Amino acid sequence: MVALATTASSSYLSPYYYNKVCPNALPTIKRIVEAAVQKERRMGASLLRMHFHDCFVNGCDGSILLDDTATIDGEKNAGPNNNSMRGFEVVDKIKYEVDKACGKPVVSCADILAVAARDSVVALGGPAWKVQLGRRDSTTASRTDANNDIPSPFMDLPALIKTFDKQGMDTGDLVALSGGHAIGFAQCRLFKSRIYNDDNIDPNFARARQATCPRNGGDTNLAPLDPTAAVFDTAYFKNLVKRKGLLHSDQALYNGGTTDELVNTYSLNAGAFSADFAKSMIKMGNIKPLTGRKGQIRVNCRKVN
């Protein structure tokens, strides 16, 4: 039944959803994402992360973009997003330009996040995939659900598997999507306990990270999630095999558990990783979309119409 439920909701989505109503929509998104990533490579990782954090909280519905109001306790200030989620101004720019290109608001903010994530990965040398489209935007958000449902960098493998399972995603999806850490940076506060306390870590790697992440202070200092943080490649998995995962949750994928074999495969086979990453991104984009008459097409991604 679960599988049927997923396909039933995603059957409304189609890669060709905007072909007739606004053929300029996707090229417009691509142009702005490419410019943003060219200006700052890290923005690609930020836009990918935003889509992920949106989808894991009550589906891919653009709820992460809503500002707090008297009636909305938004997700921007939830633990996993507060002072770390970035790229909102790029989404605003995309929305403005897309609505201009289409002549009216026909492209949802949720779809913008899904397309921007794909275009970001491609701009940084990663695989392309056909983004399913036709999601509508939520009229509410949930800080509580964001705190409960977004995977934490401190999780062990069983907790990570459980978090993904709750979204209808399997262990293969967990490993493939964790490969999104091929790009981007993390704040010292998120890996401090790992580099000072974990024993499944290469000592030289730990020392190198400690240089910019002291025991006390420096919480917002950045370190790359893998050595080539501006290129979408398999260095992330190669690092895990060498016990050089930055986050506790990264190294948990290669620590004598059920996911070791897949990490090993991806570290040696870029083609396998690219194909699986694309498949898992499409699957994640299909988590509980609002379609038909549910939700709305927001005029401003930050607030309900």
- CATH code at 12? 1.10.520.10
Instruction: Please check whether residues 49 and 104 belong to one and the same domain.
Output: yes
- The contacts of residue 207 (CB under 8 Å, 6+ apart) are none
* Alpha carbon distance 35, 121 (integer Å): 13
pLDDT digits (tens, 9 = 90+) for 259-269: 999 999 999 99
In angstroms, the Cα distances linking 3 to 54, 61, 140, 165, 280 are 21, 20, 26, 13, 15
C-alpha distances out from residue 82 to 2, 44, 95, 283, Å: 32, 19, 23, 26
The predicted pLDDT at position 12 comes to: 82
How far apart are the C-alpha atoms of 273 and 268, rounded to whole Å? 9
233 and 256 in a common domain:
yes
Query: End of a domain among 84, 115, 150?
Result: 150
User: Binding residue per annotation — 292?
Assistant: no
From residue 182, how far is each of 124, 194, 258 by CA, in Å?
10, 19, 21
pLDDT of residue 175: 99
* Residue 271 assigned to a binding site: no
In a domain, 174, yes or no: yes
Q: Is 62 left (phi over 0), alpha (psi -120 to 50) or beta?
A: left
Residues 172 and 225 in one domain: yes
Q: Which of 117, 116, 121 has its CA nearest to residue 93?
A: 116
Residue 250: inside a domain:
yes
Asked, for residue 50, whether it belongs to a domain, the answer is yes
233 in a known ligand binding site: yes
Task: Decide if pLDDT at 295 tops 70.
Answer: yes
Q: Are residues 144 and 225 in the same domain?
A: no
Q: What mean pLDDT comes out for the span 242-265?
A: 98
Question: 59 among the known binding-site residues?
Answer: yes
Q: Which two tokens stand for residue 17?
A: 């959803």
158 assigned to a ligand binding site: no
Closest-CA residue to 183 (of 30, 47, 285): 47
The verdict on residue 296 lying in a domain is no
Cβ-contact 107, 18 below 8 angstroms: yes
Same domain, 68 and 50: yes
pLDDT at position 5 is: 40
* 210 found inside a domain: yes
Q: Does 301 reside within a domain? A: no
Half-sphere exposure of 247 (CA within 13 A, CB side): 27
Q: What is the DSSP letter of 210?
A: H
The pLDDT tens digits of the residues spanning 104-131 come to 999 999 999 999 999 999 999 999 999 9
Q: Is 54 annotated as a binding residue?
A: yes
pLDDT digits (tens, 9 = 90+) for 133-174: 999 999 999 999 999 999 999 999 999 999 999 999 999 999
Kindly write down the DSSP assignment for every residue of 29-72, as one continuous string. HHHHHHHHHHH-THHHHHHHHHHHHHHTTTSSSSGGGPPP-SS-
Residues 15 and 118 in one domain: yes
Residues 135 and 172 in one domain: no
Choose the final residue of a domain: 124, 150, 176.
Answer: 150
- Residues 219, 143, single domain; the answer is no
State yes or no: 63 annotated in a binding site: yes
Question: Residue for token digits 């490969």?
Answer: 179
Number of structural domains, the chain? Answer: 2
Tell me the pLDDT band of 4, cut-offs 50, 70 and 90.
very low
- Answer whether residue 194 is part of any domain: yes
Nearest Cα to 209, choosing from 227, 189, 190, 188?
A: 188
Task: Identify whether the C-beta of residue 169 lies closer than 8 Å to the C-beta of residue 283.
Answer: yes
- The pLDDT tens digits for 174-205 are 999 999 999 999 999 999 999 999 999 999 99
Query: Is the pLDDT reported for residue 6 higher than 90?
Result: no
Same domain, 88 and 192: no
Residue 94: exposure state from Cβ atoms within 10 A (0-12, 13-18, ≥19): buried
Residues known to be catalytic: 53
Note whether residue 291 is domain-resident.
no
Q: Which domain holds residue 253?
A: 157-279
- Name the pLDDT band for 11 (thresholds 50, 70, 90): low
At 245, is the secondary structure helix, strand, or coil?
coil
| Domain co-membership, 109 together with 197 | no
User: Which sign, positive or negative, has the C-alpha torsion 185, 264, 254, 284?
Assistant: positive
Tell me how far apart the alpha carbons of residues 6 and 131 are, in angstroms, rounded to a whole number. 16
48: which residues sit within 8 A by CB, 6+ positions away? 117, 120, 121, 180, 183, 184
pLDDT for position 13: 95
User: Are 202 and 248 in the same domain?
Assistant: yes
Q: Which residue has the tokens 């409304």?
A: 12
Cβ-in-10-Å burial (0-12, 13-18, 19+) of 241 comes to middle
- Tell me which of 150, 182, 216 is where a domain ends: 150
| 50-93 confidence digits (pLDDT tens) | 999 999 999 999 999 999 999 999 999 999 999 999 999 999 99
